[in-house]
Structure 1
């Protein structure tokens, strides 16, 4: 599996598979994410051979085998690879540059804190409580969590600004490693963004893509030249802002959106995205989509030794965002957003570009 793959689960029967496929069809229309049946697999557990074949025929998939490839951290029976982003960073809130995942070790400690304080020693002073010397070793070990939480207590009272008592969520927030708020979290995570675009933009802002410059520095590659233009070192900034190919793609998308920024500064688009939250969100998604599709072209040039025309890529970006906006726009549309939505609709109908860059 890859990071932007999707896992769907159902009962192992034909009727459930049909329901699942219909649901995914609705999901695809809403999000613009479509299933590649040739790259999709079905996994079974305890399903008879005849029923397996029926489900595979209905779904158009082939049967896969375990183990899966891990989400961000490629570590398994047969392979180990350096993670793109550390687990510690991924477990931070999105406002601090993470994915908002829960660190299960820290969450477990916070849960133990509630278990001990509110069930087993209820009515006693948490701060002064010590397990009896004749208690079991695991109880003494469980009670060690008191030391981790002691600074957040005054006697037996959990201290917060409202003195409302201990909860697992509060304990988790107290125990977790805090980080600085990042300025780009609103750019990456907004409802207008296609999930795979947001995820790649998140990796981009952590500057953890395996560019040729990075691979060369790690002695994995013998060259650090940009795989697209062959005119400079393939750093993150070169690939997305200096590469002539990327400039052509970004320029075409910017022209469609009505934004012209000197020096092809893609990230500065948000500075000129004035108006409603809807308009700002759509502009942010165009930034994320450009980053994602430029990286896809870079990988295509490396793996398949092919490259799409810049106008083809720009058209693909425009079509994806147009479909995304039209699919999730709320009805009725707010008065302040009507002119912008109408403009998007009109531009979407007349935005067809051929590979020469001329409007159809």
Structure 2
């Protein structure tokens, strides 16, 4: 007598996710594809996407018996309801969160995310702002380092090397734009560097709406300075500080008018309308 090993019901799903293997019968194949959409593989282990939990591990009969045995023995030696047993099983180390953390590892948290990705910021402003904060803009100093270009001077002020620290805001043009934006917003921050201005917005004790407006204006300023630099580089178009600041005011005013929070008080609305 020959014993045939029993095939797990989850094995066809696992094979389909790994190799794309489908049954010959079209109806069974369609059913398998529909069912497999609710499953995923993590390190060759099959998980089901639960409605109330991130991932539910597929457990075979032997492993399930082991889990039930440990639940009913020792510290868990009672016979309560199903949900109670599930909670006890999780407390004993069978946690769905472990699988979730494998898919979403812990990242380094940053303090400037609220300012960079603020609701009032224009998306294109936030994107360039985010790249600039991480010091990843392709400045001429970096391009020369990679031997893509021969000169690394600033296009606005040729005596200095074009670095992100110089563009935001040691460059005379960028500094003049920053001063005009500060005067427009009646912004009392004395710093002239991007990182310091972000920390000032984060730590200062003003209303949330004003913080959002300052962040939106700073994001627009970074974007417009970088845009003016590219216009000069690629199209030989010179933009003055007044032109850049005028564009910043238009973008910020239009954006705030469209997505202004409803909970803003009358004093802050009057402050914004007076800008």
The TM-score normalised by the length of structure 1 is 0.51
Distance in 2, matches of 1:219 and 1:208, equals: 17
5+ residue gaps, structure 2, are: 1-39, 50-54, 68-87
| 1:238-269 deviation digits (Å, cap 9, x = unpaired) | 01111001011111111101024435334444
User: 2:63: which partner in 1?
Assistant: 125
Are the aligned partners of 2:144 and 2:150 in contact in 1 as well (CA < 8 Å)?
yes
Structure 1 runs (4+) deviating above 6 angstroms are 126-129
Aligned residues: 208
Distance in 2, matches of 1:223 and 1:120, equals: 60
Larger Rg: 2
Distance in 2, matches of 1:245 and 1:127, equals: 72
Query: Are residue 109 (structure 1) and residue 47 (structure 2) matched?
Result: no
User: 1:39: which partner in 2?
Assistant: none
Distance in 2, matches of 1:339 and 1:303, equals: 44
Gap change, CA 1:127 and 1:219, over 3 Å in 2: farther
User: 2:183: which partner in 1?
Assistant: 255
Q: What does 1:87-98 align with in structure 2 at a 5 Å threshold?
A: none
User: 1:16: which partner in 2?
Assistant: none
The TM-score normalised by the length of structure 2 is 0.66
Alpha-carbon distance, 1:211 to partner? 0.3
Q: What does 1:198-217 align with in structure 2 at a 5 Å threshold?
A: 198-217=126-145
Distance in 1, matches of 2:154 and 2:130, equals: 22
Alpha-carbon distance, 1:121 to partner? 2.8
Are the aligned partners of 2:41 and 2:47 in contact in 1 as well (CA < 8 Å)?
no
Which of the numbers 289, 294, 297 marks the counterpart of 2:228?
Answer: 297
Gap change, CA 1:342 and 1:219, over 3 Å in 2: same
Higher RCO (CA-CA < 8 Å; seq separation 6+): 2
5+ residue gaps, structure 1, are: 1-106, 130-155, 348-360
Query: Are residue 178 (structure 1) and residue 106 (structure 2) matched?
Result: yes
| 1:150-198 deviation digits (Å, cap 9, x = unpaired) | xxxxxx94569xx89526xx62323444332112112211211111111
Superposed CA RMSD in Å reads: 3.2
